[in-house]
Amino acid sequence: MRLVDSLRLPVTQPFNFRFTLWKPSHFATELELHSRDESWRTFRIGSLVCGVRMQMDGARTLRADVFSDASWTADASERLASRLTHAYGLGEDPSGFLALARKDSAMREPLAALRGMRQSCPENLFEIAVITLVLQNSTVQRSTQMMSNLLDHYGLTVELPGFRLKSFFTPQDILGVGEAVFRARDRLGYRARYLERFAEFFRTHDPDTEQPNKADLMDEFQMVKGVGPYTAAVIASHAGRDPSAIGIDVWNKKILAKRFLGVEEADASAVTAELTARFPGYEGTASLYAVEYVYKDAALAKLEEQIPMERRALR
């Protein structure tokens, strides 16, 4: 792939580039690569695949250098710009949450370390649903293994200057694979029976154009076998960018109980009620800060010292 485009995207302040694009709590997927000053990520824009290098160009502009092939178009560029702006909340106003967080002693350290961090969801609706599926009732090691298997078998390899990344598969790529193959070859366990149902749903609901905050869409998706409140909440908080939504699992529940309730264990309902009392309307954002602060110095996917690429390719 070659350099085909460079986007300049405005960013509201305050904005924390590093902890918005790279989340220490996220497991490694080979879809992206990060160093302190830059991030690479693959995207599928319609039928096109691209690799995007992102870095700050001054305090208020995100620069996105796009690598693709000769079929890259002006329409794809516009769609990618919109996707990046939404994926990383570049135009969001964080002042409402910050006003609440400054008054809360439990948020003192997370706020000092991560101020300006936004939710990140570079995945489309289908992709975030798949990631949520492999996270269900699983260790990080198992989730990583399952995701790697799926990307190896159904995704693409993207050749970038000096290194390779993987790109996601589409719903059409896995239709007809079947539960037996997902279970035996991809080692999805019980999740094998649900993945093709996800693909079938998004075959008729374009994951790039549907609005994830539409109540009727999420109600319909929750009728699909394998989709429950956790999956719906993750999609709402990530893809829908709802600052109040929280996908509580066994891991983050412990973190939130300790920080906000001062106990090692608590029911999810008690955790949610406490966050609502402290951060009404921003429960999900408060949860994000608390969880990422814990993982900040013990990241699941480490930062690279330097991304191995041929710098001349960007000239």
- pLDDT tens-digit series, residues 277-288: 999 999 999 999
Neighbours of 8 (CB within 10 A): 11
Confidence of residue 300 (pLDDT cuts 50, 70, 90): very high
Write the single-letter amino acid at 210: E
- Predicted pLDDT at 255: 95
The torsion defined by the Cα of 71, 75, 77 and 79, in degrees rounded to 10, comes to -120
Q: In the predicted model, is pLDDT for residue 311 greater than 50?
A: no
234-286 residue pLDDT tens:
888 898 899 999 988 888 999 999 999 999 999 999 999 999 999 999 999 99
Dihedral sign of CA atoms 20, 24, 29, 30 in order: positive
Asked if 64 contacts 53 with a C-beta cutoff of 8 angstroms, the reply is yes
Domain with CATH 3.30.310.20 in the chain: 1-91
* pLDDT band at 313; cut points 50, 70, 90: very low
2-10 vs 156-160, strand pairing mode: unpaired
DSSP labels for the chain? -EEEEEEEEE--SS--HHHHH--TTSPP-SSEEEBSS-EEEEEEETTEEEEEEEEESSSSEEEEEEEE-TT--HHHHHHHHHHHHHHTTTT---HHHHHHHTT-GGGHHHHHHHTT------S-HHHHHHHHHHHTT--HHHHHHHHHHHHHHHSEEEEETTEEEEEPPPHHHHTT--HHHHHHTS--GGGHHHHHHHHHHHHSS-TTTS-TT-HHHHHHHTTSTT--HHHHHHHHHHTS--TT-----HHHHHHHIIIIISSS---HHHHHHHHHHHSTT-HHHHHHHHHHHHHTTS-SSPPBSS----GGGG-
**What is the per-residue pLDDT for 98?**
97
Per CATH, the number for 125-238 is 1.10.340.30
Token pair 């709802």: residue: 242
Lowest mean pLDDT among 50-64, 71-85, 244-258: 244-258
Domain(s) labelled CATH 1.10.340.30 in the chain stretch across: 125-238
CA angle 88/23/32 to nearest 5° reads 75
Give the homologous superfamily in CATH for domain 1-91.
Answer: DNA-3-methyladenine glycosylase AlkA, N-terminal domain (3.30.310.20)
Measured distance between the N- and C-terminal CA atoms of the chain, rounded to whole angstroms: 15
pLDDT for the residue numbered 258: 96
Compute the average pLDDT of residues 156-164.
93
Confidence of residue 168 (pLDDT cuts 50, 70, 90): very high
Structure confidence by residue, pLDDT tens digits, 182-222: 999 999 999 999 998 899 988 888 787 766 655 566 677 77
Among 253, 11, 269, 29, smallest CA distance to 127 is for 29
pLDDT at 314 > cutoff 60? no
Give me the chain's average pLDDT, please.
91
**Cα–Cα distance between 26 and 135 in angstroms, integer?**
10
